[in-house]
Structure 1
Amino acid sequence: MTASASSRVWFVTGASRGLGRAFTEAALAAGDRVVGVARNLSPLDELAAGHPERLLRLPVDVTDREAVFAVTEKAVEHFGRLDVVVNNAGALFAGMVEEFSEAEARAQMELNFFGALWVSQAVMPHLRANGGGHLMQISSIGALGGFPSTGLYSASKFALEGMSEALAAEAAQFGVKVTIVQPGGYWTDLYTSSRATEPNPVYDGLREELQKQWAEGSVDSEPKLAAEAVMKLVASDEPPLRLLLGSMVYDVAFDISRRRMETWAAWEETSRAAEKAVPAP
């Protein structure tokens, strides 16, 4: 498909692999133009050869705020605008909460939260200048609740979602839409490329139990299915603030929400008793 002057311009982080690669391929297949950013761009060589005028590859480490702003300017200079931004770059640091060193905990937050924050800040002026656009924050099932061995990963995604909800309310006046995408399991290298803490033997029993659960109950899909959902989001005039991807994550979301509501209701009397308006001191 030949690109036209009106084709959308995407900015996809973590574009060289996994979901980011699937989003990039889907956008190109739709005739759009894509700025694919990643630390390692070599996996995009073949794709770039097939779309030399519509795929711009730019190297960046999203944890470097200055570099993120610079690469965003290069992207806009090249294609003239940005329309769709997909904050996809991220990684999983696995380990029990007690096991994390300061450096490991900060590294998880730097990539999954601060990296997305820097990209959001860098692209907003350009989306405003266009009079609108769509920013998609790729979150995770890990943001629905805290799970054993992924506590810091969940913390980074909880932070991403809190920031993104506020950003959605702030950006709406400029016609900029924000969607938090919560995927379930996909066949990417999220798990194979994950880093792990030094295991504390007191958690060996829990680890064995978790490994058994994952072996028996893991549901993983082709990344292209997530890309198809994202293309529907882009085509929507009224995209949702949140979108769950997958039956498993859909069911987990409702189960967690019900249990929270049941707990809140059980403690309603205590909650309400903790509030009573008094004059200012």
Structure 2
Amino acid sequence: MRPGPAPPGDVVRRAEERHGGVDVLVNNAGYGLVGAVEEVSEAEAREIVDADLLGALWLTQAVLPGMRARGSGHVLQISTTGAVGAMPFLGLYNAAKWGLEGFSEALAGEVREFGVRVSIAELGAVDTQWGTGSMRFAAPDPAYDAVRDGVLGTSEVPWLSEPGATGGGTAPREIAEELLRHVEAPSDGRLRLLVGDDAPGQVAAVLRRRLDEYALDPRFATAEDAADGTAEA
């Protein structure tokens, strides 16, 4: 039997022994899963949550003792504009990334006093194989074919792609350079970092729709005005 991967704590311990500590943790592991919520199996749901959410949680927990002891460190979570809104047929991917952002926002407040910085990078489209050869697909239910065609432009899944084909978007090197600049720069107080040419527009559109929806409750406008007044004071 082939041995499984080493527990996160062991990996971090070896890195600390070799390098004297982990200065920056980048949680980048993850993949996409296409499937309506009804179509996704229990195994598929557990697998994507394990990879896209829990893997980042376990590694974050493993580096924090050393970072707290040294009074410095930076945890960089690679998220997505899909953690701001949600798209039909990507619900479990969205759920995992929303969870990543949820615990990371709480974490930022917990470890700030220890000198540990937390950043959430919300990426737009990146020119990788995320949406082509690396994408996973739940077994389709024909009941959703018309909806699938309207949203994805095809009712046929999994879609086929040429080996090595990418989906377009910002070049990975540009993404990496922007993340490196963010890590090396002094903190400007931001928790969330918009990365990629299309990321700001995507987030703005989602938040605008959400605010319009909240505004259907007349109490929301009153509460928003009160909050603005408090902020100005």
TM bracket (short chain)? 0.7 to 0.9
Equivalent pairs, count: 207
Tell me the CA shift for residue 243 of structure 1: 0.6
Distance in 1 of aligned mates of 2:168 and 2:128: 12
TM-score normalised to the size of structure 1? 0.69
Distance in 2 of aligned mates of 1:190 and 1:119: 22
Q: Aligned pair 1:243/2:193, yes or no?
A: yes
Distance in 1 of aligned mates of 2:148 and 2:214: 30
What is the match of residue 266 of structure 1?
A: 216
SS of corresponding position for 2:139: coil
| Structure 2: segments with no counterpart, 5+ residues | 155-166, 223-233
Structural RMSD (CA): 2.2
SS of corresponding position for 1:204: helix
Match of residue 130, structure 1, among 31, 47, 70: 70
Tell me the CA shift for residue 208 of structure 1: 2.2
Distance in 1 of aligned mates of 2:174 and 2:218: 41
What is the match of residue 230 of structure 2?
A: none
Tell me the CA shift for residue 103 of structure 1: 1.1
1:57-96 → structure 2 map (5 Å cutoff): 61=5, 67-96=7-36
Instruction: Between the two structures, name the one with larger relative contact order (CA 8 Å, sep ≥ 6).
Output: 2
Match of residue 229, structure 1, among 166, 172, 178: 178
Of Structure 1 and Structure 2, the greater strand share is in 1
SS of corresponding position for 1:104: helix
Tell me the CA shift for residue 269 of structure 1: 3.4
Q: Aligned pair 1:147/2:87, yes or no?
A: yes
1:210-225 → structure 2 map (5 Å cutoff): 210-212=151-153, 220-225=169-174
1:1-281 → structure 2 map (5 Å cutoff): 61=5, 67-191=7-131, 192-212=133-153, 220-239=169-188, 240-269=190-219
Distance in 1 of aligned mates of 2:206 and 2:168: 18
Distance in 1 of aligned mates of 2:193 and 2:148: 30
| Counterpart contact for 1:144–1:253, Cα < 8 Å | yes
Distance in 2 of aligned mates of 1:161 and 1:185: 18
Instruction: Give identity over the alignment, percent.
Output: 40
What is the match of residue 46 of structure 1?
A: none
| Counterpart contact for 1:219–1:248, Cα < 8 Å | no
Distance in 2 of aligned mates of 1:209 and 1:268: 33
